[in-house]
Amino acid sequence: MSAQHLFDELRSAQARIDMLTDDIIDSNHAYTNADLQVLDAEHELQSLQRINGYDVRRFTEMTKCANKLNMFRQHRSAVQEHLLRLWRELEAVVNSKENLWADIEIFERRIRFTWEKAAFLREKAVLAAEDDLAQEAHWRRHMFGKTRQGQDRSIADEARVKCEEGQSRRDAQGPLPPLTVNPAALHEWQRYVLQCFSNYGLIDGFPDPCSGPVPVVTPCNRPRCNQEERTLIACSCQLRKTFEAAGVDLKKEWRRWHPDRFQVCAEQRRQLYTLMATEVFRVVNDMRTEVLQRMG
C-alpha cells in the first residue's frame, strides 16, 4: 500500500467521523424531543386518571391516551437504538483511523531516501494538524454505546452518581413525611373493589386507590416513585400502604388482582386494565412473599 493511499484513507476516515458526529448531534436532539413527548403523554394520562377517576364515559379517551403513550415510548426506543448504532459506527471508524496512523508510522520507518521521506513528513504534518486527537479522546470517554461491557459500566456509574445525588438531596431535605390513609376514602375504595371483582367482565373503571375524587393515601414524595413509569396514579408505596391499612388476606388479594383475571374485560379496556393490574399484583406478590419468608 502506497503512502498516498494511506493518506487518502485517513482523510476519508476523518470525513466519515465528521459526518457521524453531525448525525449523532441530530439524533441526540431527536431523542430529547421523543423523551419530552413521552413525558407529556405520561402527564396527560395521569391527569385524565386523576380528574376522571372511575368515570366510565372517559375510559375510551384514557385508552387512546395510553396507546399514544406506548407509541411514543416505542419511537423513543427506536431513536435510542439508532443513536447507539451511530456511536458504534463512530467507534469503528475511530479505531480504523488509529490503525491507519499506525500503518503510516510503519511506512515511515521503511522509507530510505531523504527526498522521499521529506515529502512524506510534510504530508503527515498536514494531516496531524487537521487531526483533533483531544476530541477523539473525549468521544472515547463519553461513548456509552461502544461495547456492551463499556455501556454497562457507564450505566452503573451513572446510577451510582444519581444514587449519591439523591442521598445528598434527602440528607438536605430531611426525612420524608409518612404516608397517611384517609379512612373514608379507604372504605369507599374497598366497596368499589368488591363491586368490580364481582364480575371482571363488567368492570367499567379500574379501582386505582388514588384515582378517585379523594385519594386513599397521601401523595408519595420519594424521588424514585415520582420518576418511575407506570399506568396507575398510585405508586408502589401508596399501594402497599393501602393494603396494609385495609388489613386484607394477601393470599386472597393475590388471586383477585392476578392479571390473567382481567383478560375477560371489555376489549377496548383489556390492555390498559391488564397493565394496571400487573402493577398492583406485583406489590401484593412482594408483600405475600415477605410474609411467607417471615413465617418460614
Domain ranges of the chain: 3-123, 183-295
Q: Which residues of 21-43 are buried (b: 16+ CB within 10 A; e: fewer)?
A: eebbeebeebbeebeebbeebbe
Which three cell numbers, joined as nine digits, stand for 263? 383478560
Q: Give the model's pLDDT for residue 161.
A: 59
d(CA 250, CA 115): 88
Cell numbers at residue 151, please?
Answer: 455501556
pLDDT score of 292 more than 60: yes
* pLDDT value for 12: 83
Using only C-alpha atoms, what is the Rg of the chain?
Answer: 29
Task: Supply the pTM of this predicted model.
Answer: 0.45
Summarize pLDDT for 219-252 with one digit per residue, the tens: 888 888 877 778 888 999 999 999 999 998 898 9
Q: Is pLDDT above 70 for 80?
A: yes
The alpha carbon of residue 265 and the mean position of all alpha carbons in its chain are separated, in whole angstroms, by: 29
Q: What cell numbers appear for 160 in the block?
A: 451510582
**Distance between first and last Cα of the chain:** 73
The residues near 9 (Cβ < 8 Å, ≥ 6 apart) are: 100
Question: How many Å apart are CA 204 and CA 183, to the nearest integer?
Answer: 24
The answer to whether the CB of 68 falls within 8 A of the CB of 60 is no
Instruction: Write the DSSP symbol of residue 201.
Output: G
